[in-house]
Chain A
């Protein structure tokens, strides 16, 4: 059992079932010991500080929960996918532009070109990617295509063509493709906005928060700051889609450990669908996050949670990406075990049509998987990523957050530790903190 504090409450999570409890101090201590000692031993350990009568009551309540199946220490056997489902693709990240009009200092795409020549995808390759997705998706009906880069709106005519072609072809297969787009918001003119709204396309808009914070890391190609134009464009865009179906997504670095203030800044701009996330990579750079920053970052997430709950109480709430957590429902066990599906269900496509496990592996030749013309040729990589689930990650199996995190990001793991099987330690700790807060917020919400 994982027992933790949130906003004055003591909460307990059963990591195997997902049962979430609010407990007093006594029950919290009993639950911490429950899977390690028998009831008589728990009584002996705690009887110096609690009455035997209270201990008997708390133990009885725990036994009721066990009898109801709400607490369980036994991990189910690993789900084994049927042969037919292996290699069925569900989602593509289409890099329609390996070019960008910003020069973000922390960009894992190396200022947009992924360390290669600046190129854009042509129509033929875009259509071939759609064909590849439809013929590789087996019986799956709900498919996804994300327009990514670089800056995808540098190649808007091809985006428009791919959407039209994708809709037409998907209908022939009896499938539905959900299109999304990630943009730096510098090229959102009337034609683009009308198209994105007409297609009801979910859009992720990049903005880091306060002007000085944003402009330090996100300059234009000529070195000038991007905040002024981007913040105005983002607000206009959100207004023109009635505040729906978008996320404003920023990155925090060692330069703004007070990132909750940046979330507050975005909130004060009238934005309500928000995500500010830790920078990845950049080892040794002045902006790089390290274990030395962990305590400050955890405190900052607590400060953000206070702001989140305050706005909820005031009746003008906002969504924060990492605080969204379904304590009821949520995905099935198989999805919780396997996570994002990079390398098997989900692939990235370069402007030339080459396939990689996800956008953060693009350009690394050891992860080249084939092309939209040849299909997946590196079947060993499909197997490697398919097997890289919770059951292959000993640290994850011991972790309370495993079914809410699904083992972390393969790319973070590989770039930190040289293997996709060992999650990045700092991102693990941050994820655990965010999951505690998300569970805490859901506890408040459920009580209300």
Chain B
């Protein structure tokens, strides 16, 4: 258990570093 830091969300932005099938927007688009 970490004492100083709690992870709220694991960042995945770089994991896909576009088909553009998602809705035109920005931070809340839903993807394939």
The chain A residues found within 8 Å of chain B, CB to CB, are 11-12, 14, 16-24, 26-27, 30, 54, 57-58, 61-62, 64-65, 70, 72, 76-77, 79, 81, 85, 88, 90-91, 140-142, 144, 178, 324-336, 338-341, 345-346, 403-406, 435, 438, 442-443, 446-447
Contact = CB atoms under 8 A, between A and B. Distances in A.
A140 B24 contact: no
Contacts of A328: 9-10, 12
Contacts of A54: 4
A22 B2 CA distance: 11
Contact of A330 (B10, B21, B29): B29
Interface string B4-30: 111111111111111111111111111
Contacts of B20: 85, 88, 90, 140, 334-335, 341, 345
A140 B27 contact: no
Given A70-B10, A405-B26, 18 more contacts: A18-B11, A19-B10, A21-B8, A22-B5, A24-B5, A65-B5, A70-B7, A77-B17, A85-B20, A90-B20, A90-B24, A142-B23, A327-B8, A328-B9, A331-B18, A332-B18, A346-B24, A404-B27
A341 B24 contact: yes
Given A341-B20, A438-B27, A22 B12 contact: no
A64 B30 CA distance: 30
A430 to B, nearest CB: 15
Interface of B: 2-31
A341 to B, nearest CB: 6
Contacts, number: 156
Given A17-B14, A24-B4, A338-B18, A442 B24 contact: no
Contacts of A324: 27-28
Interface centre among A61, A141, A324, A447 (most CB of B within 10 A): A61
A446 B13 contact: no
A152 B1 CA distance: 57
If over half of B's interface residues share one DSSP class (helix, strand or loop), that class is named, otherwise mixed; here it is loop
17 contacts: A18-B12, A19-B10, A23-B6, A91-B24, A140-B21, A325-B27, A328-B10, A329-B30, A331-B22, A332-B16, A332-B31, A333-B15, A333-B16, A335-B25, A336-B27, A443-B9, A446-B9
A335 B24 CA distance: 10
A435 B27 contact: yes
Given A325-B27, A325-B28, A438-B27, A19 B7 contact: yes
Contact of A331 (B6, B11, B14, B31): B31
Contacts of B15: 333
Contacts of A325: 27-28
A22 B6 contact: yes
B9 A331 contact: no
B19 to A, nearest CB: 8
A242 B10 CA distance: 35
A330 B27 contact: yes
Contact of A58 (B5, B24, B28): B5
A228 to B, nearest CB: 33
A329 B15 CA distance: 10
A61 B24 contact: no
Contact of A334 (B6, B11, B16): B16
A340 B11 contact: no
A340 B20 CA distance: 10
Interface centre among A57, A327, A331, A443 (most CB of B within 10 A): A331
